[in-house]
Structure 1
Amino acid sequence: MTVQAPPQATLGGSPAQTPAARLRACLAQGELILMPCCFDALSARLIEQAGFPVTFMSGFAVAASRLAVPDTGLITVTEMLEQGRHICEAVRIPVIGDGDTGHGNPANVQRTVHQFARAGFAGLMIEDQLAPKRCGHTGVREVVERAEALRRIRAAVDARDAGSDLLIVARTDARSALGLKEAIWRLQAFAELGADILFLEAPRDETEMRSFCDAVPGIKMANMLEEGITPILPPARLAELGYGLAAYPLTLLSTAVHAMHEALEALAAGRIPERRVDFATLRTLVGFDDYDQLLERY
């Protein structure tokens, strides 16, 4: 398996295709897709302009950037959807959304799937934590029982098959709460139910990552969180293990915070920060040139 990354990355389809169809086309190439995660429309556009073929709207990053609160279920599905609509409108690359626990019973799960599909997402992640959920790398202690976890994924898959054209990412946090064996059992069951992408959160080492990839069929996603529980592996190694997607959930947010700290320190010292893009680049990024060209036509 090879690695799909800039500059070779493509959108995986024509503009006429749906977001889900473009995501399926990317995944069908059989290469590891590097997927930096976004938190707003601007970060999503930067990801697209850098040549990455797919992005993921990180729930942690959206909660942090939009509300400055922890990823512990405090942000609402309405707020996530609003942020997601802006992101999906800003780019052509497919965007995967964070559906958390599905926000309730199977009826809620299905409504969540329908809402994210209408917002323009290409995929949606549903997990088996007990609500309110929390970031999987901050100590998950509770997941729902097997039957409830299966109901969530079955409801999401049924909503997809009923016309909500997006891919279902089935996630389990059972590794932290109940152990690796239970986590793999759940992921195998999710695959049997028809989930499109399988995600084991917080494996402890490369051996566990390989066990997951060997035991579970379908497309697997890795979560490369700096200073998190899972080891950060090079893309080539992730591909060798059998992963099809590699998410980088907080890389852009953490580097942006670092850059803002540096800029504020410079301003406090009476200096203009030197490490910044120029005004012309910023104008182009947000579309001032396109806006002016449009007005000139009229």
Structure 2
Amino acid sequence: MAATAHVTPDTPAARLRARLESGRLLVTPSCGDALSARLIEDAGFDAMFMSGFAVSAHRIGAPDTGLISYGEMRDAVRDICATTRLPVLADGDTGYGNAMNVRRTVTGYARAGAAAVMIEDQLAPKRCGHTKGKLVVDRAEAVNRIRAADDARRDGGHDILIIARTDARHGHGLDEALARAEAFHDAGADILFVEAPHDEAEMRRICTELPGWKMANMVEGGATPILPPGVLAEIGYHHAAYPLTLMSAAIRAMQDALEALRDGRPPERLSSFDELRRLVGFDDYYQTEQQYSDRRPD
């Protein structure tokens, strides 16, 4: 009997892992809904990040201050993953409770199709990492969240990567943030994310002193300098997320269009109706529909 060749599962997590192992910086624009996810894939990126800031704004029109629930975030993961074949790295906030809630979050995100889930060490209700009012839990509790995340995927047989985020730089300094991140790695995290370093020197310390894959968060107007992808790669980052770029651009474009309509002017820089139909999926729908119809397309 011939031996059966080993086939690597073609899961979102497997595709993300292979991309990170390539050694090239992974740049991920962030989506907040299924339409923005479709646009990211259409633009030719290799993966995307699902931003909690963006989901909270898109889904409930509220700030990223812990108001959105686990169920709403999981549903957003499901809707986004159903729209794209790209790996989706999804914001899991604090895990929405204690270690048992973290386990549920990891399991729910994996079943919804996420390639990675991010768990952070903030005290609930959490805050955007570049706004005021951030507090973190003690180190032991923070590490237990990552242990619980790792246990959940192992016990459930889920292929999902864990991004471990610390916001300790804000109130406890970079040394504490680095100590937490190293402990997260030891607890099973795949990607380490030290939020809001204040300058390039701190970013270099993060990449030099920590093991494994590192993530940079490029928030326009935030505490961290916005560096070109080539510089981020040279420093030692493996993943650069842009959590607010698309939403900021979309808000400005919608404001400009609304201002024009209000003032009686035709809005500028609109997508054509043909392009709009393509982007939201009409062309694919009609093509598939023809398999089940004897009628010719209009």
Q: TM-score, normalised by structure 2?
A: 0.93
The Cα offsets for residues 182-236 of structure 1, whole Å up to 9 and x where unpaired, read as 0000001111112100000000000110011111000000000000000000111
Instruction: Return the letter of the residue paired with 2:200.
Output: E
Provide the secondary structure at the position in 1 that maps to 2:178.
Answer: helix
Does residue 187 of structure 2 align to residue 205 of structure 1?
no
Does residue 22 of structure 2 align to residue 29 of structure 1?
yes
Structure-2 separation of matches of 1:128 and 1:86: 26
Report the equivalent of 2:283. Answer: 289
Report the equivalent of 1:92. Answer: 85
> Structure 1: 5+ residue runs without aligned partners?
1-13
Structure-2 separation of matches of 1:154 and 1:214: 24
Instruction: Return the letter of the residue paired with 2:97.
Output: G
Q: 88, 111, 114: which is aligned to 2:107? A: 114
Q: Note the aligned Cα RMSD (angstroms).
A: 1.3
Q: 117, 129, 137: which is aligned to 2:122? A: 129
Deviation at 1:78, TM superposition (A): 0.6
Structure-2 separation of matches of 1:123 and 1:85: 13
Describe how 1:184-223 pairs up with structure 2 within 5 A: 184-223=178-217
Report the equivalent of 2:296. Answer: none
Deviation at 1:295, TM superposition (A): 2.2
Structure-1 separation of matches of 2:152 and 2:134: 29
Does residue 247 of structure 2 align to residue 253 of structure 1?
yes
Structure-2 separation of matches of 1:26 and 1:210: 22
Structure-2 separation of matches of 1:161 and 1:201: 27
Structure-2 separation of matches of 1:15 and 1:188: 29
Does residue 237 of structure 2 align to residue 243 of structure 1?
yes
Q: 224, 234, 237: which is aligned to 2:228? A: 234
Identity of aligned residues (%): 62
Report the equivalent of 1:68. Answer: 61
> Structure 2: 5+ residue runs without aligned partners?
1-6, 293-298
Instruction: Return the letter of the residue paired with 2:172.
Output: L
Report the equivalent of 1:159. Answer: 152
8 Å Cα contact 1:140/1:176 also seen in 2: no
Q: How many residue pairs were aligned?
A: 285
8 Å Cα contact 2:167/2:196 also seen in 1: yes
Deviation at 1:27, TM superposition (A): 0.6
Structure-2 separation of matches of 1:292 and 1:193: 49
Deviation at 1:287, TM superposition (A): 1.4
The Cα offsets for residues 82-106 of structure 1, whole Å up to 9 and x where unpaired, read as 1111100000000011111111121
Does residue 138 of structure 2 align to residue 170 of structure 1?
no
8 Å Cα contact 2:126/2:134 also seen in 1: no
Q: 37, 43, 53: which is aligned to 2:46? A: 53
Report the equivalent of 2:3. Answer: none
8 Å Cα contact 1:140/1:177 also seen in 2: no
Describe how 1:137-152 pairs up with structure 2 within 5 A: 137-152=130-145
Provide the secondary structure at the position in 1 that maps to 2:122.
Answer: coil
The Cα offsets for residues 93-122 of structure 1, whole Å up to 9 and x where unpaired, read as 000111111111211111110000000000
Describe how 1:256-267 pairs up with structure 2 within 5 A: 256-267=250-261
Pair 147,29 (structure 1): closer, same or farther in 2 beyond 3 Å: same
Describe how 1:262-273 pairs up with structure 2 within 5 A: 262-273=256-267
Structure-1 separation of matches of 2:239 and 2:133: 23
Q: 10, 33, 44: which is aligned to 1:17? A: 10
Pair 34,64 (structure 1): closer, same or farther in 2 beyond 3 Å: same
Instruction: Return the letter of the residue paired with 1:175.
Output: R
Provide the secondary structure at the position in 1 that maps to 2:182.
Answer: helix
Q: TM-score, normalised by structure 1?
A: 0.93
250-259 or 81-90, larger mean C-alpha shift: 81-90
Provide the secondary structure at the position in 2 that maps to 1:297.
Answer: helix
Does residue 38 of structure 2 align to residue 38 of structure 1?
no
Structure-2 separation of matches of 1:234 and 1:259: 24
8 Å Cα contact 2:127/2:134 also seen in 1: no
Deviation at 1:294, TM superposition (A): 2.1
198-207 or 288-297, larger mean C-alpha shift: 288-297
The Cα offsets for residues 227-275 of structure 1, whole Å up to 9 and x where unpaired, read as 0000000111100110000000000000000000000011011122121
Provide the secondary structure at the position in 2 that maps to 1:45.
Answer: helix
